[in-house]
Structure 1
């Protein structure tokens, strides 16, 4: 620890966001950066604890005390080397990770002002790219081949780990480019896509082969359009590969090992009366289309999912719902309301049910919420209302949760009379269904959300690392 009094002498300082009146007019990243001197001072606050709970909390096993100390001392290259020992893509996690490490920081227990690990991480990797520390490394090949199906964070992590071990890796994905939900789910104002492209160029230089527009299908089904599809797939996505298909049996025979990292393709639906009205969409229909538009793709008027001039209702209180709020603002929505069927979380910083160093389930207010949004909890959706086939509103009812006398999930009881929320657009952001994977051959492994259900990007990356080790162990 370079400065044993750093946490006493230096207050936590975050880079913060661009002003609201500025950022809502574009899709540029909302988060700002600190200058190098301030960033080093923030790194000096790390206490190099005897038991580093930050390391314990991080799914990747990152070691913030080590790279924070190097950063404080001004050795940016050493900080980069220490960081990338455990984290293959810190430019992603440094932007979108909820920073489990910071909630487990001892300074969060004592003062609720943890070390700025996530921002430090982002600063280290950006400095590394700027100073040309990041160079391609092409390993000596061992003669064995691995296929990775799905180019999201889990698939990319498994691919780069296996590639560096000497395997010839081919990554297949049903979409037109790599990144999974990093590219087609997370808005540019949180993660601009040039960051993904920069990393992909490096992975190609290191020898990873990418094949896009290839859909994974069940060999027992007749076609890719059949219900046997187990592909990397955003529901209702018209851009998925239609002509090129591949089966697990074929991949298993052609490659020494296969990693299935196809994510969670099926969004949770809300099948209430009026679901077929025009104006009711899955969240990713809006988010993926907006990202594609920013990448230069064009859509007809009938295809557009656009909030301009509309009252928008977001159903679902998680991060995807928050992304819908920010996107709706930038598209020019008239108003934005977000409803959640569960109770309002406690206002932090402490959560008595999940005490430190566990993740506190407290009220989260994102940059998108700050831009303007009515938020309501304990709201059940009853019916989508419309006229001439178009959505005009949603009938909802405030509810309360009561203990179940038989145990288990609490029971939902009406608390007030039904009401109508005016809306010309509804975005369903209620999560994803956990995939049910078939029985795979012995040389096929499942990673990320495809194995565990929807979770954090950092957990998907950790799963990719773990599966890469399993593949290497098998093939050795």
Structure 2
């Protein structure tokens, strides 16, 4: 490393966020950029640890430890410290097709496995990654790279989320003719409609999609394969099919009162909001509004947090977030050692915004919903809740029941797997969790020429895992079509 003692000399620094009370007045990203000199100091904190765990990408205790796409983190940290930004961008793009996405929305398992993090705050990896790619675009270094030759092989990619886009990018770079089918009216999948603007502004997605188009990838929107377009037709027209539709079947909460109006799945809420925002800056009213409502979000995680931030921007009357699990400890527990992902208490942007507006963290831990209570018009007005025991199966504790007001309830409890029309038409086998059955690393389904990757194969997961799988399936498809491959997974 260029600065072997940097980790001793410099403390961890992250970009300042705009004030929560100010940023909820708009839909812009809330992080400010750091000065280049400060970024170089943060790169200097990378400590030449000898065996870097930050880019291992292994599964430990069911979660990623290190970067799932094996980003060459120590290398580009050193290059940033030295001021070699263009070279840092080249190293970053070797493993990551879309660092502008992961640098914004990834929870950074790399930082959880940073060796410096054993005794000190870890290196600011995520922010450096985002700064490298943003500088690359600002300087004009990120340009279309068309393949030198075409193989004549045609590949259909179903779904344009991070798995589909990374698969398309890699397959196109190998010279195949790639067509991406998306049922929504815009390309991007969850990057476009699942993640709100304040975390990922959509011009960032559209900029990358435009580059892929210039490189030769064909995008077709408003086409739902399996319904509008029969899957058999694709088999006739393409040499291979890659399924990257995500895990879009939401987990429901079938308790008393579920039929009441005002209870929605989180993605209904988030998708409609972003579409209306992009179409008309919310002037068309084609979204579920939280304005002047008591909002209750059931379920934590990124999706629940995004519901909090969106509701705050609508101008809700109150925000409550029910989490069935106990509050996480401030420090790692004994059964959660480094380099595992640290299961510690965290405050995300939506939590901070709710606290700034309403004066307290919106989360109620170890709490479950027992019943939705409605009014005379059949609309939800309250939820009967209860505290639960600290360990599964989280049984309700007698005597702790109470009611809280709720005019809008958002269910953010995860997803159960992909929707099935295309798999039924193609005859794709499912695994025990109802995902498309295909082995990681091979990605081939039971149907010859049909592959699966991303959340539809592994279940709901991180954007960075989707990119891992998209790159991996591209390598598998290239090998299937050509008998050999130079693509790196």
Structure 1 CA distance for aligned equivalents of residues 398 and 472 of structure 2 = 47
Contact 2:276 2:283 in 1 (8 A): no
Deviation at 1:297, TM superposition (A): 4.6
Deviation string 1:162-217 (CA, Å, 9 cap, x unpaired) is 00000010000111111111111111010000000100110000000001111121
Q: Report the counterpart of residue 466 of structure 2 in structure 1.
A: 460
Structure 2 CA distance, aligned partners of 1:322 and 1:2? 39
Counterpart residue number, 2:339: 357
Distance 1:43 1:335, change over 3 A: same
How is 1:316-335 mapped onto 2 (pairs within 5 angstroms)? 316-335=299-318
Structure 1: 5+ residue stretches without partners:
218-223, 225-243, 403-408
- Give me the whole-angstrom Cα distance separating, in 1, the residues matched to 2:222 and 2:209: 17
Q: Secondary structure at the residue paired with 1:371?
A: helix
Who is 2:208 aligned against?
Answer: 199
1:131 maps to 2:139: yes
TM-score, normalising length: structure 1? 0.90
Tell me whether 1:122 sits opposite 2:105 in the alignment. Answer: no
How far apart are 1:106 and its partner, in Å? 0.9
Tell me what 2:30 maps to.
Answer: 30
TM-score normalized by the length of structure 2? 0.88
Unpaired stretches in structure 2, ≥5 consecutive residues: 57-65, 355-360, 430-445, 483-489
Q: Are residue 368 (structure 1) and residue 354 (structure 2) matched? A: no
Show CA shifts across 1:78-106 (max 9, x none).
00000000000000000011111111001
Separation in 2 of the partners of 1:151 and 1:339? Answer: 32
Q: Summarize the alignment of residues 51-66 of structure 1 with structure 2, pairs less than 5 Å apart.
A: 51-56=51-56, 57-66=66-75
CA distance in 1, matches of 2:465, 2:400: 41
Instruction: Answer yes or no: is 1:254 the counterpart of 2:262.
Output: no
For 1:7-406, what aligned pairs fall within 5 Å after superposition? Answer: 7-56=7-56, 57-111=66-120, 113-139=121-147, 140-217=149-226, 224=227, 244-247=228-231, 249-297=232-280, 304-348=287-331, 350-372=332-354, 373-387=361-375, 388-401=377-390
Inter-CA distance 332–108: structure 2 relative to 1 (3 Å threshold): same
1:214 touches 1:246 (CA, 8 Å); kept in 2?
A: no
Q: How does 1:405-416 map to 2 (within 5 A)?
A: 409-410=392-393, 412-416=395-399
Q: Deviations over 1:380-413 (max 9, x none)?
A: 21111111111110111112146xxxxxx54624
- Corresponding residue of 2:436: none
Distance 1:72 1:201 in 2: 31
Contact map agreement 1:143 1:168 (CA 8 A) in 2 = yes
Shift >4 Å, 4+ stretches: 297-303
Stretch deviating more after TM superposition (16-25 or 296-305): 296-305
SS, match of residue 148 in structure 1: strand
Inter-partner Cα distance in structure 2 for 1:269 and 1:411: 17
Q: Is the 8 A contact 2:388 2:394 kept in 1?
A: no
**Would the aligned equivalents of 1:400 and 1:415 in 2 still touch at CA under 8 Å?**
no
SS at structure 2 position matched to 1:412: coil
Aligned length: 442
Say if 1:252 and 1:441, in contact at 8 Å, map to a contact too: no
Q: 1:58 deviation in Å?
A: 0.6
Task: Report the alpha carbon displacement of residue 336 of structure 1 after superposing the two structures with TM.
Answer: 0.2
Q: Deviations over 1:421-471 (max 9, x none)?
A: 101010000000023753352111000000011000000110111111100
- Does the CA-based 8 Å contact 2:382-2:404 persist in structure 1? yes
- Shift in Å, 1:347: 2.2
Distance 1:107 1:300 in 2: 49
Q: Secondary structure at the match of 1:431?
A: coil
State how far apart, in whole Å, the 2-side matches of 1:11 and 1:384 are: 48
Q: Aligned partners of 2:385 and 2:190: how far apart in 1?
A: 30
Matched residue, 2:358 = none
Secondary structure of 2:168's counterpart equals: helix
RMSD in angstroms over aligned alpha carbons? 1.6
- Which residue of 389, 404, 411 maps to 1:428? 411
- Distance (whole Å) between structure 2 residues aligned to residue 246 and residue 341 of structure 1: 41
Instruction: Tell me, yes or no, if the aligned pair for 1:399 and 1:416 is still in contact at 8 Å.
Output: no
1:298/1:114 CA distance change after superposition, 3 Å: closer
Check whether the contact 1:103–1:360 (CA below 8 A) recurs between aligned residues: yes
Check 1:344–1:416 CA distance in 2 against 1; reply closer, same or farther (3 A cut).
farther
**Deviation at residue 300 of structure 1 after TM alignment:** 9.4
Q: CA deviation at 1:351?
A: 3.1
